[in-house]
Amino acid sequence: MPDDPSLRRFAYRTAGLRASEIRALFSVASRPEVVSLAGGMPDTGALDMDAVSDTLAQVVAHDGAGALQYSGGQGYEPLREQLVEIMHTDGVAAHPDDLVVTTGAQQGLDLLAKLFCDPGDVVIAEGPSYVGALGAFGSYQAEVVHVPMDAEGLDPGALENTLQRLRAQEQVVKLLYTVPNHQNPAGVSLSAQRRQRLAEVAERWDLLVVEDNPYGLLDFKGEARTALRTLIPERVVYVGTLSKIFSPGIRVGWVAASGSIRDKLVQLKEAADLCQSNLTQHVAHRWFSVQPWQDQVAHFREHYRKRCRALTDALSDEMGSVCEWSEPTGGLFVWARLPEGVDTGEMLATAVNHRVAYVPGRAFYADGSGQRELRLNFSYCDEDRLRTGVQRLAEVVHAEIELVQAFGESRADRRPDDS
């Protein structure tokens, strides 16, 4: 719409905001006949709904007037104490005074991007990285530079090389953003040895680390990994959320940071929305103080472990010869790679026509890579649907590979002839 008068009034920083090319397809993908392996939704249906209902009723019965009020900008103190306990079960130490409650981890990331990033500043992130973080950094015009990862997570040697290169180019690196546990989208965790090496690199290069940990408690074996915040507490800003261990609908997340970072975050939070919803903070507080929440999390873990197994077994059966994928140790996602020449972005429309959806790999890179990669979610569909989804996807993938082999180039490259 070149003659839309609003366009010239928009702030420069909005120029980089793009409507997702795949959003239109996702509205089709959400139709019931489509098996969606695309979203990142936990299975809230696996919650004990009677317990949820009791919790809601008790909040209103015990402190309805308080819960319906504003809260302070830093968040409801009894909840912050509870969140510290939750971090503790995940092996991370913090003090309630250091926590700022946010509207999900996503708002935490947005406020951190707003706090640290000037246009052109560099944020280093795993390649691939969480799409919502890329959006948050991009909306403050930061440049995301990726560091490769493998089955052991981010490669600290490659991180150091990247830091060297960026310094030589006189680029300002503001922070490293990382999801060390059951990463979204790659489904892998940073190994113990690499955590140590990453901590050393951060010390050597005076690097601030944003450690985003939504999935730590969703380890299939219930094992906790040492947090970066435990190794180098003064260098790490920790982001947590209740979305995956209770509910994303209550939108409760938090940032743990001390001193001036915490103070500035409170000011930014107040500027954004005055305070977190007090009602949902009370609900969360009651859930985690009254309900056997650790049993619920153990149930989620087992539930997702089985679903993950169903998905990876189906991948072996249907696409074992043409596809590689990560073997997740927890979390919600499998990351898959198809043969050279396949473009998962191009293939999505065909997949949706075959009633299956996924997220193309390119969404998880700021630099346009990820052409032959894709993310598959296993938390939301039951085992039968996961198998059906993979069967449908396999038909599309095998046909696509035949096409690529026949033409010897990617569909994207052929587009001019196709049209």
Query: Interface with ligand PMP by CB under 6 A: which residues?
Result: 40, 104-106, 130, 132, 179, 184, 212, 214, 241, 243, 248, 253
State the nearest-atom distance from the C-beta of 379 to ligand PMP, in Å.
10
**Residue that the structure tokens 């499998």 belong to:** 334
CB of 148 to ligand PMP, least distance (A): 18
Rounded to whole angstroms, how far apart are CA atoms 47 and 45? Answer: 5
User: Least separation, in Å, of the C-beta of 54 and ligand PMP?
Assistant: 24
DSSP 168: H
Nearer to ligand PMP, 359 or 401 (CB): 359
Residue 175: CB minimum distance to ligand PMP, A:
15
Residue 103 or 410 having the CB closest to ligand PMP: 103
Specify the pairing of strand 373-377 against strand 359-360: antiparallel
Nearer to ligand PMP, 229 or 392 (CB): 229
Q: Which residue bears the tokens 């909306």?
A: 139
Residue 161 is encoded by which pair of tokens? 């090389």
Nearest to 369 by CA among 166, 163, 145: 145
Query: What CA dihedral angle connects 153, 336, 301 and 356, to 10 degrees?
Result: 150
Three-class secondary structure of residue 23 per DSSP: helix
Q: Is 251 exposed, middle or buried (0-12, 13-18, 19+ CB in 10 A)?
A: buried
CB-based contacts of 49, cutoff 8 Å, min separation 6: none
Minimal distance in Å, beta carbon 328 to ligand PMP?
Answer: 13
Shortest distance, position 166 Cβ to ligand PMP, whole Å: 23
Residue 185 CB, shortest distance to ligand PMP, in Å, is 8
The three-point CA angle 110-16-265 to 5° equals 15
Nearer to ligand PMP, 131 or 397 (CB): 131
25 vs 109 by CB, closer to ligand PMP = 109
Give 112 or 201: the residue with its C-beta nearer to ligand PMP: 112
82/410 with CB nearer ligand PMP: 82
- Shortest spacing between CB 418 and ligand PMP, in angstroms: 34
212 vs 343, beta carbon nearer ligand PMP: 212
Cα–Cα distance for residue pair 275/31, rounded to 1 Å: 36
Which residues, 6 or more positions from 318, have their beta carbon under 8 angstroms from its beta carbon? 390, 391, 393, 394
Query: Which residue number places its CB atom closest to ligand PMP?
Result: 104
In what helix (H) or strand (E) does residue 176 lie, and over which residues does it extend? strand 173-178
Alpha helix locations (H) across 177-225? Answer: 192-204
Task: Look at residues 323, 317, 359 and name the one whose alpha carbon lies nearest to residue 340.
Answer: 323
